[in-house]
Amino acid sequence: MARPPGMGRKFKGGKPPRPPPDDLIGTSAQKLVTTTQGIWEITKREGSLVRRFTKDGVDEIKQSFPYVWRLFKLVLALNPRRTVLLVIGRLVMSILPSTRLRVQGAFIDLVQDAIDYGKLDRTRLLRLASLHMLIHVLEEAISTLLESSNAVIERRLGEKLDLELMRAHLKLDLVSLADPAVTQKFQDAERVCRSTGNGGFQQIMQVVDVFTSVTGILSQVTTLSGLVSRRLWPLVLISTLRPLLHAAGMLGGGVFGARITDPLYQRMSTVKSFATNPSLRQEIKVFGLSDWLVKEYEAASTALGVVSLRFQREEGMWSNIGNFVEAFTTPALYITTALQSQKFKISLGTLNLLQSTTEQIIRSTSKLLTRSENVVSNWKVVQSFFECCDMAPAVHAPSGGGKDYETAEAADGRKGMKIEARNVRFAYPGQPEVLHDVNFTIQPGEMIAVVGYNGAGKSTIVKLLTRLFDCTSGELLLNGTNIREYHPEDLRKRTAVLFQDFGKFVPMTIRENIAVGNIPAAMYGHQFTIEQAAKSAGAASFVEALPKKYGTNLTKSREGHFQPVSTHDTASGDLSGGEWQKLALARGIFMRASQSDLLILDEPTASLDPKAEFDLFAQLREVRRERSCTTIFISHRFNTVVNADRIMVVEEGRVVEFGSHRELMDGEGVGRYRELYELSAGAFLEQESSREKKRPSTAVSVSTEQE
């Protein structure tokens, strides 16, 4: 099968670079370009290590560093002692390799003296052995300490970052989260919460590793400075150019993403997936598709021809130059050192130490450059995380906490929420306007039905009333006060809602799914219980029939997905559409336990049969009888709409009619409501007629018997 490219490679052939795909724009701090090779579309980071030292690169570091420092302070605050020990431990570990090399060189010198002079300095031998053992024990102890500290800090930091990002999600409103740029930023921020890759802990450790690498190189250079004569230093410096040259051509130009875009190869993959898909086997057998699938695969394969399925990779120019420099300088360094040893009587231990230290400096320099590039490239992710945490919701509370809410009362004594819309306009972020100059007045305690075709703007009005969004222009008044003057949370406590696209809290129990409608009432007890809410919504009958009743764990359908053993529950199950709707209605009714003044039902009977629908509205009337409230329900079923006090007809984002059923039916001319009602009645009568025709005729059967 075709595989994506190795990282940090340049590619032969293909089309000239072009801008990256839209779905990759904004996902990295790097500039991206896209080329095509064979069946692959390759997106790479543009530029090289040199770009890091330009004005743009420095500005990028300056912009991101405060966020990285903020992350480090967060780590330090979680566990100061372990964090300090972690940094110190890594610094010590960076110095120990050069110390070990010195001890090894001294060992070799000791053996050489014993061979040359026939005498062994036992005191020195024991001292070196003890020092070697001490270094080993110290490395093991520090490694164990670092491993323990890593695990503790990483776990605590992961939990903290998850919590902060969850708070940021919950703080924002639908307006902010509907912005694609905000969505992308949250996706980038999620990477900081990971325990691997570019997670927050790894980001900090990468920065620490850069500093410890510098410390290690300085320690190695100090060791080398006491061994190398001035004549050898140019060769030593030249030998360290290889990682620099390699990085200049490779770093910053690595592959960012790769995907197959060739339609013929995609056709082959699709046909193969059809042939091996268990869910399609019956259709393949019944429809006789086996030969057709094989021919389709062969045709696509033949048309594709000989195309590169893998990447042909080549080293960059700078990397090749680096390899040549290494091939020249390493033998030259050894030859020069050998000649110097003959002239200045350098010992074997010193030669070994010289060689090992030089190689270690080269490796450390290469690692330092790689880590530096990775650190700076990933800082943008940390910046995205804290920018998400600092975001403020677009729908915000007024200064001073907002005006206190008071229940309104109509002239006839009914109580609830009075609602007035004055020239309300609204458009979802980045979308055309969906509401145009909407005007209406709803009195306290009224039951209002909202009807209209799909997409007319009915559900949008509900979202404005619950202040999930603010209107673009115009005024929405609640009890004579602009809705913006109330605190959003206080307003929502006075509103009970059943959304058309209601949420399913899974995996959670039935009791919890109802309780989320009013957590305080569920936690601290209330005269109106969860069981009563389920009964009022018509959900009690099927819930009571379950083995665990309200303790039944609800799960999503997991066909084709792995189900962890730890979450398996023999008493769990899924509900039908109608049962879920009753459960969501019970949640909305339980929300009324907080004495809400507004009850909103968006398509409450969409999945209910006529009997359940009749019972629902009977229960709804009983709930309203207990305490008056303003009720708004959206429905396409006109047999329920006629029970409303007044009916609002919404068409293409405008309220075109508003009145009682009789007023709208008896009005002059043919209004929109009358048209919709007659269409609905006609469809109902047609269904009844069809049912009557399917029933056996009693008269015929009697006549037959008489014969």
The dotted CATH code for 49-262+307-390 is 1.20.1560
Can you tell me whether residue 8 is helix, strand or coil?
Answer: coil
Q: What are the DSSP calls for 499-551, one per residue? A: -TT-----SEEHHHHHHTT-HHHHHH--SS-HHHHHHHTT-HHHHHTSTTGGG
Using CA atoms, how far apart are residues 601 and 582, in angstroms rounded to an integer?
12
Q: Do domains 49-262+307-390 and 410-494+598-607+627-687 have the same CATH topology?
A: no
N-term to C-term CA, the chain: 77
The pLDDT of residue 41 is: 66
Using CA atoms, how far apart are residues 109 and 127, in angstroms rounded to an integer?
14
The pLDDT of residue 697 is: 45
What top-level class would CATH report for the domain 410-494+598-607+627-687? alpha beta
Packed helices 317-344 and 241-250: angle between N→C axes, nearest 10 degrees: 170
The pLDDT of residue 365 is: 66
How far apart, in Å, are the Cα atoms of 268 and each of 174, 278, 288?
A: 41, 18, 19
The pLDDT of residue 104 is: 73
What are the domain boundaries of the chain? 49-262+307-390, 410-494+598-607+627-687, 502-556+569-595
Closest CA to 141 of 129, 153, 133, 152: 133
The pLDDT of residue 525 is: 62
The pLDDT of residue 673 is: 84
Q: Are 637 and 613 in contact (CB under 8 A)?
A: yes
The pLDDT of residue 672 is: 82
Q: Are 534 and 586 in contact (CB under 8 A)?
A: yes
pTM of the entire predicted model: 0.60
Closest CA to 182 of 402, 393, 334, 492: 393
The pLDDT of residue 423 is: 92
Positions in the chain whose pLDDT score sits under 70: 1-60, 116, 194-203, 216-217, 220-261, 305-377, 521-528, 556-573, 592-595, 605-610, 612-613, 615, 619, 622-627, 668-670, 681-707
The pLDDT of residue 233 is: 56
The pLDDT of residue 569 is: 45
- Which value, in Å, is the radius of gyration of the alpha carbons in the chain? 37
Q: Are 253 and 316 in contact (CB under 8 A)?
A: yes
The pLDDT of residue 683 is: 46
